[in-house]
Amino acid sequence: MLFVLFCSSSSVFSQKRNALGWVWQNPLPQGNPLYSIHFAKDKETGYAVGTDSTILRTDDGGFGWLAQKLPIETTISSVFVKDKKNAVVVGARGLIGRDLGVFMKIPTLQGIIKRRILVNYCAEPSVIQKILPKGFRPKLHEGKAITGICLIRLEHIRPKFTPAFIGVKSENAAHRIAVLWEDENGETREGVYIPRRDTDSFINSTVGGKLFPGEHHRANFEVTESKNKIKFSMKSEDETASVKLAGTISENLPENSVFSSLDEASKFFEKGSLGYSVTKGGEDLDGISLEIKEWKVEALDLDFVESSFYNDEAIFPKDSIKFDHALLMQNIAHEWHSARSFDLT
């Protein structure tokens, strides 16, 4: 979900002057070729970038440099520094940094939701409760828990203050459950719990959970679309998750849906903008919120839908879950915002 941009290379050397004249400072703190350097308006905060994930930061106008640690190996070709807390570097696998030079999860991304399918099931609350981490409970509608899969194609994804041409695209899938919980003030909050994320993006699967919220599994996607029809399939490379569906845009939900109308379903899911994703460490959940500029959904009448997760009777005993309806969103401007992690300890 980050950036790809290649630039011509030129070496940059940091030097300082003392009473004896110019003194060589590079290769301290490192000796890799550097391709780009940029300073904030304060002329004190600056970054230099280069090969082998090299990112250096200075807070004194270039007289002293500290190396920044990154979770991936790549060549960084260019850097832009907005201020002391925000910088963007781009290269073979692009990165974003903030907060006094420590590379952390992104503050805000923006882009276009080219296509978002919400495949929704209704399930017995007691079955769903067994899946949820401590502190969460299922959000009910007509006595049923609501769970499903978000299948989303993202385009032009980039930091909020960067131009659209560096944005990237990806196909993604997130299994999700509508949940409620109480915050530290005792107030009831709502959102979605995400036990699994899949993506076709190498970047998402490599740095997800490190540089932006949400650890992702690699998966293969096949999508065929026309004006009113869509055929979709996804299979994870670890062969533990798969989804298949085909459908046609419709004006109404299925007659047997637990939601009385498209508008009622739309309002239910619009409130679930805050998501918490599973992390490998298991001590907390990654938090991210979705801000959609203009919420608009259509009904998607499915000819069939198959989900390895929801078809697993070891998790969902027979008759404890059933498909309810599907919704479609297209060409929607949006932003992703990092949210505070949910502590599970």
Tell me: do 136 and 207 sit in the same domain. yes
Quote the CA–CA distance of 2 and 218 in Å, as a whole number: 16
Alpha helices (runs of H) in 100-254, residue ranges in sequence order? 125-131, 202-207
- Mind listing the pLDDT tens digit of every residue in the chain (345 residues)? 333 332 333 333 344 444 456 655 555 667 788 889 999 888 988 989 888 878 888 888 988 888 776 656 678 888 888 877 677 777 764 455 443 333 445 568 899 999 999 999 999 999 999 999 999 999 999 999 999 999 999 999 887 777 787 788 999 999 999 999 998 889 999 999 999 999 999 878 877 776 677 889 999 999 999 989 999 999 999 999 999 999 999 999 999 999 999 999 999 999 999 999 998 878 889 899 999 989 999 999 999 999 999 999 999 999 999 999 999 999 999 998 888 889 898
For the stretch 36-48, pLDDT in tens is 999 988 898 898 9
Quote the CA–CA distance of 47 and 42 in Å, as a whole number: 13
Q: End of a domain among 65, 80, 98? A: 98
**Considering the entire predicted model, what is its pTM?**
0.72
Domain-embedded: residue 301 = yes
Quote the CA–CA distance of 174 and 150 in Å, as a whole number: 5
Tell me: do 326 and 305 sit in the same domain. yes
Domain-embedded: residue 3 = no
Tell me: do 173 and 287 sit in the same domain. yes
The neighbour count for residue 43, using CB atoms within 10 Å, is 9
Give me the domain span that covers residue 67.
15-98
Tell me: do 298 and 200 sit in the same domain. yes
Tell me: do 151 and 289 sit in the same domain. yes
Domain-embedded: residue 201 = yes
Tell me: do 51 and 131 sit in the same domain. no
- Altogether, the residues listed in the chain come to a count of 345
Tell me: do 45 and 138 sit in the same domain. no
Tell me: do 48 and 171 sit in the same domain. no
Domain-embedded: residue 103 = no
Q: What is the pLDDT of residue 246?
A: 98
Q: End of a domain among 64, 98, 132? A: 98
Tell me: do 83 and 145 sit in the same domain. no
What token pair was written down for 292? 């959609």
Tell me: do 215 and 180 sit in the same domain. yes
Could you identify the residue written with the tokens 């590079």? Answer: 26
User: Which CATH number goes with the domain that contains 19?
Assistant: 2.40.10
- Determine the straight-line distance between the first and last CA of the chain, rounded to whole angstroms: 29
Domain-embedded: residue 259 = yes
Type of residue numbered 239? E
The neighbour count for residue 331, using CB atoms within 10 Å, is 12
Residue 21 falls in which region: left (phi positive, over 0), alpha (psi -120 to 50) or beta: left
Domain-embedded: residue 164 = yes
Type of residue numbered 300? L
Q: Is-contact 56 37, C-beta < 8 A? A: no
Could you identify the residue written with the tokens 């599970």? Answer: 344
**Domain count within the chain:** 2
Q: What is the pLDDT of residue 92?
A: 66
Type of residue numbered 148? G
For the stretch 188-207, pLDDT in tens is 999 999 999 999 998 788 77
Q: What is the pLDDT of residue 179?
A: 98
Summary count for the chain: helices (H), strands (E):
3, 22
Tell me: do 81 and 142 sit in the same domain. no
What token pair was written down for 6? 């290649």
Residue 100 falls in which region: left (phi positive, over 0), alpha (psi -120 to 50) or beta: left
Q: Which of 42, 149, 132 is nearest to 86 (CA)?
A: 42
Tell me: do 334 and 315 sit in the same domain. yes
User: Which CATH number goes with the domain that contains 212?
Assistant: 2.40.400.10
Domain-embedded: residue 23 = yes
Cis peptide before 159 (omega within 30 of 0): no
Quote the CA–CA distance of 96 and 31 in Å, as a whole number: 23
Quote the CA–CA distance of 331 and 311 in Å, as a whole number: 31
Q: Which of 68, 69, 70, 76 is nearest to 93 (CA)?
A: 76
Structure-derived torsion over alpha carbons of residues 72, 76, 80, 83, reported in degrees to the nearest 10: 40
Q: Is-contact 277 175, C-beta < 8 A? A: no
Domain-embedded: residue 307 = yes
